[in-house]
Chain A
Amino acid sequence: MSDNSKIICITGGKGGTGKTLVAVNLAIMFKNEGKNVLLIDGDVDNPNTYLLLGRKLENNKPVYFFKPKIIEEFCYKCGLCAENCATHALLHVKDAYPIPILTVCSGCKLCYKICPQKAIEEDFKIIGWTYYSTDNNLSLMVGELVPSEARSAAIIENLLERLDDIINKFDIIILDTAPGAHCDVELLINKSDLIIPVTEPTKFGKLDLFRIIELIKLLEKDYRVIINRSSLLGFRELFLKELDENKINILGDIPLDDDIVLSYCQGMPLMDEKNDFNRENEGYKSFQNIFRNLLEWLNNKEVSIEN
């Protein structure tokens, strides 16, 4: 497999379309092929991959974030720090020590850098965690934001740094993103070689799909779409037609399927060989089909890069 296309990003815009379901099962199918796989959960607001895999979170590492610490005996109460703070994270009243308001602090450290008295020290708080575990050729790296912290992108950056350290150990890397099209999602798409947006054949699905595709195009990435719940209401034909008109390539679709719900709720991935789901079921076959198409896409990529 080419090193030029080994990071695959699963995203989608809309929430609840099946991103994590696809990410987990693709990772399992690569593992079944004997590949050494790393699955990264980049939905740091709500990481769910480990639930679907039936795993526990292990080997946590804190993600630290800057906070200013005012050393009162050095401080002249000049107010320069508060004056220059772009997010107004330092409150300064005349003749009083500045008070940090951590919820709005961007972590730019300007206050620390410009204080003429060196009365501001670098201090840190934990805003999240990253986890890493290896099991049977399928490694899992998860980012998790501490609830009520806002800087989720800092966790993503931390994940990507951790990835850079170990990237050579793996044949393939699957990234699972949060819903939406914000900075967290953008960072992960930007890091990836191939993008798979997962959508559903509804009006909401279409609107959000078109928006995420706009972002993918902005970042100049190659993408193919998976349509989940494709048997919904027979709206599929119309949906497919619209995708076709917009020249959107489809990697495959996943019908509504009881086994999928069952595997999802039990933390037993559908495509894991040991879980013994019926291989003739539509859900199972659809994943096999998607995987075949994905391998073909990866091969084509490799050929076009070599040429």
Chain B
Amino acid sequence: MIGVVSGKGGVGKTSLVASLATLINKDPALKTIIIDCDVDAPNLALILPSKSNNDIKREDVYNTLKATFENEKCTHCKRCIDEQFCEFNALSWDDVNRIPQLNYLSCEGCGACKVLCPENAFIINPVKSGEIISYISDMGAPLIYGKTRLGSTTSGKLVTECKSYIKNIENFEEYNMVLIDGPPGIGCPVIATVSGLDYVITITEPTPSGLHDLIRAIEVIKQFGIPFGIIINKADLKSPFQKEFKQYIDETGFDIIGRIPFDFSIAKAMSFAQSVVEYDPKSKASIAINEIYLKLKKAFLN
């Protein structure tokens, strides 16, 4: 399992995964399942659409827990408020009806209120947290992606569900690789994405925020002890920060997988919903990505 993360958003995770997916699909040595774990903003499906609309599978995921309250059981003792059953500010007191009020968004479904209420007036139920969509993409590889239900607050859990969904792919034993497009940031969904991977590709750009966010992402990856390498996107950006950036990278001795030059063909490819290696295989960016691909493949097959 290989994943792509970046810390900073918008540095090219999805564009890179789309191109790698295109190259992998043409390669008989690799049989790959692709997963988009950016469940807040899943975009990979735009570039890897379904072969036929008939085989798109959608499965609702109910792994968010939320409390509900049964008014008729309440004896108005107010202990839930006085003894602060809830640590997440999801309980407040309704003075008029003398019952607790639940804030749906704040509720974490921990069940403390259910256990602590002497009248058992709280119930914990699973609610829909999102969905997992899967299909065979037009280029052949199966694509799995998750999409959170807005306001459901559990991106990390949905990421984990997406990753374990691979066993639902037909003949999944025949695949020898899983390629994951990760979410931005370093929090819960990123931790869920990185956990259990064999290798992490980090991608960044030579700007202060690109480097800052990369360093924080690497700290997370190191905690898991997973090997990683760096791809520098927009590598030739006209940036006064280039020198400092290079110096940092050189000093750390981190493995640089490759450099992708700033190339408008990437943006153009996107507007046609294609990966750049498909749209313009001769472009500077495509040549760089091809080299990156060959390097990764060599390392992977060894």
The yes or no verdict on A and B being binding partners is yes
- A interface with B by C-beta (< 8 Å): 13-17, 20, 43-46, 48, 51-52, 66, 84, 86-87, 106-110, 113-114, 145, 147-153, 178-184, 186, 190, 202-204, 207-208, 211, 214-215, 218, 232-233, 235, 258, 261-262, 264-267
The 5 closest A-B pairs by CB, nearest first: A15-B9, A16-B10, A180-B40, A108-B110, A45-B185
Question: Size class of B's contact patch?
Answer: 35 or more
Chain A positions within 8 Å of B189 at CB level: 180, 182
The B20-36 residues at the A interface (CB cut-off 8 A) are none
B219 in contact with A17 (CB, 8 Å)? no
In the complex where A86-B109, A87-B110 touch, is A13 in contact with B41 (Cβ < 8 A)? yes
In the complex where A16-B11, A48-B209, A84-B115 touch, is A150 in contact with B151 (Cβ < 8 A)? no
- B interface with A by C-beta (< 8 Å): 6-11, 14, 38, 40-41, 43, 46, 65, 83, 85-88, 105, 108-112, 115-116, 124, 148, 150-151, 153, 155-156, 183-191, 207-209, 212-213, 216-217, 219-220, 223, 237-241, 264, 267-268, 270-271, 273
Chain B positions within 8 Å of A153 at CB level: 153
Most chain-B Cβ atoms within 10 A of its Cβ — which of A147, A207, A232?
A: A147
In the complex where A179-B184, A211-B150 touch, is A84 in contact with B111 (Cβ < 8 A)? yes
B239 in contact with A14 (CB, 8 Å)? no
Chain A positions within 8 Å of B240 at CB level: 262, 265-266
A204 in contact with B187 (CB, 8 Å)? no
In the complex where A110-B116, A180-B155 touch, is A207 in contact with B43 (Cβ < 8 A)? yes
In the complex where A114-B115, A264-B207 touch, is A148 in contact with B270 (Cβ < 8 A)? no
Most chain-A Cβ atoms within 10 A of its Cβ — which of B41, B65, B188, B238?
A: B41
Most chain-B Cβ atoms within 10 A of its Cβ — which of A13, A182, A215, A232?
A: A182
Most chain-B Cβ atoms within 10 A of its Cβ — which of A149, A235, A265?
A: A265
Closest to A66 in B: B87
Smallest beta-carbon distance B234→chain A, Å: 10
Smallest beta-carbon distance B32→chain A, Å: 22
Closest to A204 in B: B43
Smallest beta-carbon distance A70→chain B, Å: 18
A182 in contact with B155 (CB, 8 Å)? yes
Complex partner residue of A14 from B9, B83, B223, CB under 8 angstroms: B9
Smallest beta-carbon distance A45→chain B, Å: 4
Chain A positions within 8 Å of B6 at CB level: 15
Closest to B186 in A: A45
Chain A positions within 8 Å of B153 at CB level: 153, 182-183, 186
Closest to A54 in B: B208
A152 in contact with B209 (CB, 8 Å)? no
Chain B positions within 8 Å of A190 at CB level: 105
